[in-house]
């Protein structure tokens, strides 16, 4: 699970289930960029990165503070539990972020199950 989120080639494979492109530089202060199927470009950076334990991403939004997604990874019963908490500037933004996170986890889970 950790490698699927932090190794560019693996991330691109599961995120690539959606037409677009992805660039990631997983290290504190490293940048990420995703071009969505509709042409929208999302950008951000990485905050805290603790190997196999924690990954914090910041998503840039024009005219607003970045939203923060804090992912915690824990090995349990032969698998990995992922817990996500998010900081947003509005309830609407948090609902969108939650839906986006659930979509990402589904895509990643489907990729891992098939590979």
pTM of the model: 0.81
Q: What angle do CA 15, 18, 48 make, to 5 degrees?
A: 30
Digitized pLDDT (tens) for each residue of the chain, 115 residues in all: 899 889 888 888 887 655 667 889 999 999 998 887 777 888 999 999 999 999 999 988 878 888 899 999 999 988 889 999 988 778 888 888 888 888 888 888 888 889 8
Q: Which class is domain 2-114?
A: alpha beta
d(CA 20, CA 18): 6
The alpha helices in the chain, defined as continuous H runs, are 2-6, 8-15, 91-114
Here the contacts of 96-101 (C-beta below 8 Å, separation 24 or greater) are 97/59, 97/67, 97/69, 101/69
């Amino acid at each position: 699970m950790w490698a699927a989120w932090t190794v560019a080639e693996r991330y691109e494979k599961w995120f690539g289930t959606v037409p677009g492109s992805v660039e990631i530089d997983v290290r504190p202060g490293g940048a990420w960029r995703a071009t969505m199927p509709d042409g929208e470009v999302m950008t951000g950076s990485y905050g805290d990165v603790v190997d196999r334990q924690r990954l914090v991403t910041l998503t840039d939004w024009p005219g607003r503070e970045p939203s923060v997604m804090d992912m915690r990874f824990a090995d349990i019963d032969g698998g990995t539990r992922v817990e996500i908490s998010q900081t947003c500037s509005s309830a609407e933004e948090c609902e969108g972020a939650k839906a986006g996170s659930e979509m990402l986890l589904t895509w990643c889970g489907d990729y891992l199950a098939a590979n």
